[in-house]
Structure formats: C-alpha cells, structure tokens
Amino acid sequence: MRIIIGENYRDMSRVAADMMASQIILKPESVIGLATGGTPIGFYKELVSLHNQGKFSFKQVKTFNLDEYYGLDKNNLQSYHYYMVENLFKHIDIDLNNINIPDGTAKDIEAECKSYEAKIKNAGGIDMQLLGIGINGHIGFNEPDIKFEAITHLVNLDEETIEANSRFFTSIEEVPRSAISMGIKTIMHAKKIILLASGNEKAKVIERMLNGPITPDLPASILQLHPDVTLIVDKEAGELIRE
C-alpha cells in the first residue's frame, strides 16, 4: 500500500484530487467510484477547481457511488444523491446519464442491488475508487463482520455509524437504520483505490487497517490484499503509522 501523509486536510484533499484528475486525463472515459461523508468534501472542492481550470472534462466519465441510505428519496437533503449533486455534479460537465447511485427507494431492493452490480460490470469495472473509512473500520457501509465476498446489498448500519452520521441530521432518530452499499467484493474489483482519512479520531483504525490481521471485524483490513491502494491521510490520521 502506498502511503501519503499530507501536512493537513487541504493537502490530503489536493493530493487525492490530483490523482483523480490524472486518472481522467490519462483515460477520459474512466469509470470512477465515489464516496460521501465529511472527509471527501475538500477533495471534491479541489477536483472542481482543477476542472474549472480547464485541465480535463468529465464528459465521458461514468461514476458509481458506494452507497445510499435506504428509504431516502434522491431529493432528500440527507441523501447521498443530494450530497453528490451539491458537492460535485452541479459544478462539472458530467453527462447526468453517466451518474449512478443506488436507489434507496427502489421497491425491489434485491433487483436494485443486482442491477447496480451489473451496471458496474457492463461499464467495464471501476478504474479508480475513492473510499473513506469509518472509526469502526467500515468501507462503504460494510460494517464489521461483513462477508468479504458480498456484492452490492442491503446492510444494517451499526449503532456507531448511526451515531457518527447523526451530525448531518437534526436528530439521531432521523438517521436511516439501513443502506444499500457496494460489497467488499465490488470494492476489491476496482483497479485502483484511494482511501482518505483525516483527523485523530481515525488514527487508531488506520493503524489497525495497516498492521492488524485481515479480518471481517475490520472490513478495511482486506485492502492489505489489494494490489493498488493509495492511502492519503493528514498528519492527525497518520500519527500512529510506523514507517
């Protein structure tokens, strides 16, 4: 695993945006996997800024988001669909037909998951996947004890995740209890992975992910087996990394 420790959050975001921009410059029809949450907001800002400087276009890019809350309509302000429009899609020249986010309101969830997985396959697979990490080691919404072989599926969120994400809602009761998420197998099939982490509350999980056993108790530990992962952290999240 390549490890880059940025001076601060902005530095972490810039390095990641540069990598994603380079991917799109080298392959304009790239298939990109996207993440939500607090961590990548700076990354999206930097990516939009590079795009606005005319360095590259998203016209031929296809995107697949990692996950979406179950039951939230795409116009719901807390949905990941809304987040993506606000933080990225409305600022760039992407073709809206090329955006893919699981539909949290689908009537037949199993069919939605199957079709999401098939769309990724038909697009030729994900060239570069962006990931965040939960304090419990989740990637996407693959909570501890996940099956490593899982593909896109409905997951129940851990109490820890519900609590962490309640900061984006007016009350904890409003946080959905489940979500549709790409599985670990889906994520592991991405050709390249960038994992971002910021702040000292992530330091411990980053250290465990890098040096601990590969176990479903810490879903991100499976990334030790992926051939092309770049971990980009700020100083705080990287403070326990032994080099």
> Candidates 31-39, 116-124, 181-189, 229-237 — which segment interacts with ligand PGA by CB under 6 A?
31-39
For this structure, is 243 an active site residue?
no
Stretch 137-156 residues interacting with ligand PGA (CB under 6 A): 138
Q: Which member of 6, 17, 21, 37 binds ligand PGA (CB under 6 A)?
A: 37
Q: Does 28 bind ligand PGA (CB under 6 A)?
A: no
- With contacts defined by CB under 6 A, how many residues of the chain interact with ligand PGA? 7
Q: Does 133 bind ligand PGA (CB under 6 A)?
A: yes
Is the distance from CB of 233 to CB of 197 less than 8 angstroms?
A: yes
Closest CA to 132 of 24, 219, 7: 219
Longest dimension (CA), the chain: 49
For this structure, is 11 an active site residue?
no
By 3-state DSSP, what share of the chain in percent is helix, strand and coil, each rounded to 5?
A: 40, 20, 45
Q: Work out how close the CB of 23 gets to ligand PGA at its nearest, in angstroms, rounded to a whole number.
A: 21
Q: Work out how close the CB of 4 gets to ligand PGA at its nearest, in angstroms, rounded to a whole number.
A: 17
Q: Does 33 bind ligand PGA (CB under 6 A)?
A: no
Q: Which member of 6, 42, 102, 132 binds ligand PGA (CB under 6 A)?
A: 132
Is the distance from CB of 183 to CB of 142 less than 8 angstroms?
A: yes
Write down the catalytic residue from 67, 68, 103, 117: 67
**Beta strands 128-131; 192-197: pairing state:** parallel
Is the distance from CB of 14 to CB of 48 less than 8 angstroms?
A: no
Give the separation between CA 111 and CA 24, rounded to whole angstroms. Answer: 31
Give the separation between CA 79 and CA 104, rounded to whole angstroms. Answer: 9
For this structure, is 97 an active site residue?
no
Is the distance from CB of 159 to CB of 197 less than 8 angstroms?
A: no
Helical H segments across 136-218, by residue range: 159-165, 184-188, 203-211
Q: Which member of 28, 38, 71, 124 binds ligand PGA (CB under 6 A)?
A: 38
Q: Which member of 134, 137, 183, 219 binds ligand PGA (CB under 6 A)?
A: 134
For this structure, is 138 an active site residue?
yes
- Residues marked active site are found at 67, 136, 138, 143
